[in-house]
Each structure stands twice: as C-alpha cells, then as structure tokens.
A = this chain, B = another copy of it.
Amino acid sequence: MSLASIVFRDAPGASDATRVRVRAAAERIGYRPDSRARWLRRAQSGLIGVVFNVRQQFHAGLVEGLYQAAETMPDIDLALAAVYPGRDDARAAEGLLRERCEALIMIGPFIPTGRIARLAQEVPVVVVARALRAPSVDRVRVDDRRGCALAVDHLVSLGHTRIAHVDGGDAPGAAERRRGYLQRMRAHGLEEFADVIGGGATAHDGAVAGRVLLQREPRPTAVAVFNDLAAIGLMNWLGFHGVRAPEAVSITGFDDTAEAAGATVPLTSVSQELELMTSTALTRAVDRARGRCEPGEVVIEPRLVVRDSCAPYSGSGD
C-alpha cells in the first residue's frame, strides 16, 4: 500500500522496475489516487485556493497563469472558487477554508480591506491586482499609477494635450490609476486639461463614457481608459458615431488582454505582465503557507504595448 503511494508521489524508495510494475497494475485495475484522502492525510496539503470573478475576463488570464505556474510545482494543487454578483469574495473564500487550503490567492477582490484582513488572520492571503493597506496580507500587483503614467507619456509624446481619463469607478485599481493619470498630467504641466470621466470595468461603461466625451467642448483628442474592456466599448461607441480611432481620437487601454489585440482597431494597452504576476503570487502563497516568508508587497513594473489605436496629434482637433 505504501508502495503505491511512493510510486505515485514520485518519492524515493522504489526501484525503476517496481515503478513500472506498479503503474501497470494501477492501469489495469483502473486505479487513480484519491486527492481528498491525500489532502486530508498530508501535513501540508499543498492545496492553494483561488478566488476569482467568473465574469471578469481579465481574471481568466490570471487563473490560466496560476494553473501553469502550479504545474511546475510538484504537490501543489489549485482549488477554484468563483465570485459573481450574489456571491462575494468572502463567501467563496469560506468554501475554500472548509477545504483546508493552505493559502488563498484572491484576484481583484471587491470586499473591503477589513474583511480581507480578517481572513488573513486565519490563513495566508495573497491579493492579486489590487492595492491594499493591510500589512498582514500579501499583495502582488502592477504599479497601477505608473501604468497610467506610461499611457499619458505615450499620448503626450504623440503631441496630445487634451487627454482625458475614463476611470474604473470603484473597481480594484481604479483609484490608483486615476491618481497616476492626474499626477502625470500635472507633471507635464497639463493639469488644466485634466478631465476624469466616470466609467467602470465593462464595455458598456466605456460606451456610456463615450456619450459624455462627445459632449465635451472642446473634445479631448486622446483618452487613457481604465481597462481594455471599457476602452473597447468606448472605441466602438465613438467609431459608431463617426469618431474613429486613431484618426479622430487616440485611445489606450489597460491589462493587455486578448481582446485588446483582437479589437476592431488593435488597442495600445498597458500590460500587467500576467505570467510574472501569477508565478510570483503562487510562489508567495506557497512560501507563506510553509512559513518561509513574511507578508509583503510585490509591485510589478507595467509595460506599454503599442498597437494601432493611437496616432500623432493632427492639430485639426476634432
């Protein structure tokens, strides 16, 4: 019995011949190790819980990255828990705690800091893609402020001055990005042109912001948007109403999702470096679970991915 265990765990203590023999026998009788029993018995279950919002396609890329990172770590399994309107991050986390996950990775959680901090008292928590004032929880995030600054710099370098920002409302990261935009406009001496338009995280939010933008007089010639989805919504709504990117308006997104590359006009976007973020998050989760490190913050440097949605300022304005 322990022999099978040794073989399936790839643990030392069996000859190669035996391994082959055992695996063949298992194949014949249709044996498959029981992960529940495994998790239950092991001192360190190796189970890492992942809380994500099933409606946010940006989270999809992160979940993917976490799976890939987990594959490189033997004995680490992922347990997924979905968040959606009607089931918040805390509820999802609760289910994972019952499964005795060693650590929790929460992607862009919406619940207040206090509730996350309380969770962190029970289990190591790594928050991804959201800034947080909570020393007891790990944070892995891109420098949102810097990301928005990169976008502004890019637009300024193209000659734009009337650069607006469509923000993300109360979405994770929105406040930081708004701040980055404002700071950078000021740094360029463009504070008089600073214009923050209320938005959100969905394409629909972007479209709604488009309506507002069209009514501005004079109209901004460039827009740095909270995320790709809203940027695409904005771009399409404007295009639909005759204001096309990049000729009539330059637009930047954020997240560098697959959608950005495949948009009607491929979207210039700020990349969060998904792979780096996910492998860092998982490594930290495991290290924290094993008591190998203290909670802290890892801030990742964003990178601007230039595509076709921005053009030099033409001077003709609108």
Q: Taking beta carbons and an 8 Å cutoff, which residues of A are in contact with B?
A: 30, 32-37, 39-40, 45, 54-55, 57, 60, 63-64, 67-68, 77, 79-82, 84, 86-87, 95, 97-100, 122, 202-204, 207, 233, 236-237, 239-240, 244, 258-259, 262-265
Tell whether, in the assembled complex, residue B80 and residue A67 are in contact, meaning their CB atoms are under 8 Å apart. no
Known A64-B82, A64-B84, A84-B64: A259·B99 in contact at CB below 8 Å:
no
A37, B37: Cα distance in complex, Å: 7
**Nearest CB of chain B from residue A8's CB, rounded to whole Å:** 10
* A240: B residues at CB distance < 8 A: 236, 239-240, 244, 264-265
List 10 other contacts, CB 8 Å, given A34-B99, A77-B95: A30-B122, A32-B98, A33-B98, A34-B100, A35-B95, A36-B100, A79-B79, A80-B82, A203-B259, A240-B264
* A244: B residues at CB distance < 8 A: 240
Q: Which 9 A-B pairs have the closest CB atoms?
A: A204-B262, A239-B240, A236-B236, A80-B80, A35-B98, A54-B60, A36-B40, A64-B84, A36-B39
User: How many copies of this chain does the complex contain?
Assistant: 2
A67, B86: Cα distance in complex, Å: 10
Residue of B nearest to A208 (CB): B262
* A39: B residues at CB distance < 8 A: 36
What DSSP secondary structure best describes chain A's contact surface?
helix
Tell whether, in the assembled complex, residue B67 and residue A82 are in contact, meaning their CB atoms are under 8 Å apart. yes
Tell whether, in the assembled complex, residue B99 and residue A82 are in contact, meaning their CB atoms are under 8 Å apart. no
* A262: B residues at CB distance < 8 A: 202-204, 207, 233
Tell whether, in the assembled complex, residue A237 and residue B258 are in contact, meaning their CB atoms are under 8 Å apart. no
Residue of B nearest to A244 (CB): B240
A110, B235: Cα distance in complex, Å: 32
Residue of B nearest to A54 (CB): B60
* A233: B residues at CB distance < 8 A: 262, 264
A311, B237: Cα distance in complex, Å: 19
A34, B98: Cα distance in complex, Å: 5
Tell whether, in the assembled complex, residue A81 and residue B80 are in contact, meaning their CB atoms are under 8 Å apart. yes
**Nearest CB of chain B from residue A104's CB, rounded to whole Å:** 14
* A202: B residues at CB distance < 8 A: 262
Tell whether, in the assembled complex, residue A87 and residue B99 are in contact, meaning their CB atoms are under 8 Å apart. no
A234, B84: Cα distance in complex, Å: 28
23 contacts between A and B (CB under 8 A): A32-B98, A33-B98, A34-B40, A34-B98, A35-B95, A35-B100, A36-B39, A36-B40, A36-B45, A37-B40, A40-B40, A63-B82, A64-B86, A79-B79, A80-B81, A80-B82, A203-B262, A204-B262, A233-B262, A236-B264, A237-B264, A239-B239, A239-B240
